[in-house]
Structures are given as C-alpha cells and as structure tokens.
Amino acid sequence: MDLITGRWHPHLNSYHYEGGWEVLSLRSPGGLTHNTVPDLQGEDAFEDTPLMDQCPAIRSLTRSFTCPVMSVRLLNLKAGALIKPHRDRELSFEQGEARIHLPVHTNDGVEFYVEDDRVIMPEGSCWYINANLPHRVANKGAADRVHLVIDCKVNDWLTMLFGDSEQKTRDLPFDADVQRQIIESLRLQRHEAAAALALQLEQELLAYLPVKSVDE
C-alpha cells in the first residue's frame, strides 16, 4: 500500500456516505485511474490502469478468473465513516453481473448489512453480495476498512463456482413474479450452467404453485 499512498480519490457518490470513503482504481473503463465509479453498462472497454503494475498479486488474482473481469478497485472506508442504505440497481448475479468483495484490512467494528442481515467478512475471505438489494456499511472501529472489489460478467465458470461455494441463505416470502423474472434473466445469459439453474428454479416454481384443473 505504501507505493500507492496519495493516489486514492474520494468516492464520487458523496450523497451516499459520511466521513471518508476512498477509491483506488486498478481496472476501469479506458484504464483511467481517476475513473472511480465503473459504468458497467457503458461502451468503453475495461482496461488495467497504470496502478495495477504496482499490485502484481492483485493482477495475478484477477487473471486467474475464468470470466470477463470488468472493474477492479480498492475501496477504503475510513474509521468512523458510514455508507448510507442504497442499491446498485441491476448489479446482481441474476442480471448477469457479480460484485466480489475480498476484505484486505478490516476490524470487528465494521457493520455490513444486506437488507436486515449483518454480513461479517473476515480478512482473506471472498464474498458475493446481491448489490441490487438495499445494503449499508458503518465502520465503527478505530482502523480503516479496505476491500478489494471486483466486478465480473457471469458465465458458466462463475455460475459453477457459486454453486460449489458455501451459501448463506435465509427464508424469504415466495414471490412467483420475482421467480419468473430471475428465470428469464438466467435464460437470456445463454450459458449452459445458467440455463440449468433456470430449469431448476422453474421446477421449484411449478412445485410451489397450486395445481389447477382444466375446468377452472
């Protein structure tokens, strides 16, 4: 981190946080270091920024991903800072994009909530969260919290990787319309693994819905 001290930029979405929240762009649209908020729907190709040369371990990690890697950033939430509840719309596995969090430096005072569930992310672990859901973070500790955040395109490799991972789930009210939207989104990805998952969800949907006779 010493080599890149002074290269951090304040996060542009200042409305969504209080205190210090800084970004170091290692891969961005056009490879620009000052491009701190990735436009995942934009037309510019994602490229490594010059700062990636100073982070060979991170470069090696991202190259090990067998899926398209878009944005790569280090995000530093300063001690005492907080990120207000918000949603990153359309940023979810079901929509074909996944945001991966790898905690680099954290503390017990960090409170990360997705909806009403607290997610505790130890250093050295790897997490996917559905950023399309409301989430918020408060760093109540005395030290900064630094995460490596990687945005990826979903493909068969990532789908299978998620399927093999430990999953934290909770019971939610069943919503048939939402289930149908997820199924449709998975099928639009045109990947074998996504299609298989869509079929599984469709079977679960059919099993849940009441059977109606043809006379009804």
pLDDT in tens, 73-128: 999 999 999 999 999 887 888 889 999 999 988 999 999 999 989 999 998 888 99
Higher pLDDT, 37 or 147: 147
**Alpha-carbon gap, residue 61 to 83, rounded angstroms:** 27
pLDDT at 211: 40
Chain Cα centroid distance, residue 76: 16
pLDDT at 95: 87
pLDDT tens, position by position, 57-73: 889 899 999 999 999 99
Helix (H) or strand (E) holding 83: strand 82-86
Helix (H) or strand (E) holding 180: helix 176-188
Higher pLDDT, 13 or 169: 13
Q: 97 and 53 in contact (C-beta within 8 Å)?
A: no
Going from the C-alpha of 196 to that of each of 6, 47, 143, 156, the distances in angstroms are 47, 32, 44, 10
Residue ranges of the domains in the chain? 2-161, 171-208
Categorize the per-residue pLDDT at 33 as very low, low, confident or very high, splitting at 50, 70 and 90.
confident
* Closest residue by Cα to residue 95 from 163, 10, 146, 153: 153
Q: pTM of this prediction?
A: 0.75
**Alpha-carbon gap, residue 116 to 173, rounded angstroms:** 14
Fold of 2-161: Jelly Rolls (2.60.120)
> How many other CB atoms are found less than 10 A from the CB of residue 20?
16
**Token pair of 185, please?**
């989104």
Q: 102 and 74 in contact (C-beta within 8 Å)?
A: no
Residue 195, pLDDT > 80, answer: no
Highest mean pLDDT among 160-164, 166-170, 182-186: 160-164
Q: 112 and 69 in contact (C-beta within 8 Å)?
A: no
Helix (H) or strand (E) holding 145: strand 145-153
Residue 41, pLDDT > 50, answer: yes
Helix (H) or strand (E) holding 61: helix 56-63
> How many other CB atoms are found less than 10 A from the CB of residue 154?
23
Residue 179, pLDDT > 70, answer: no
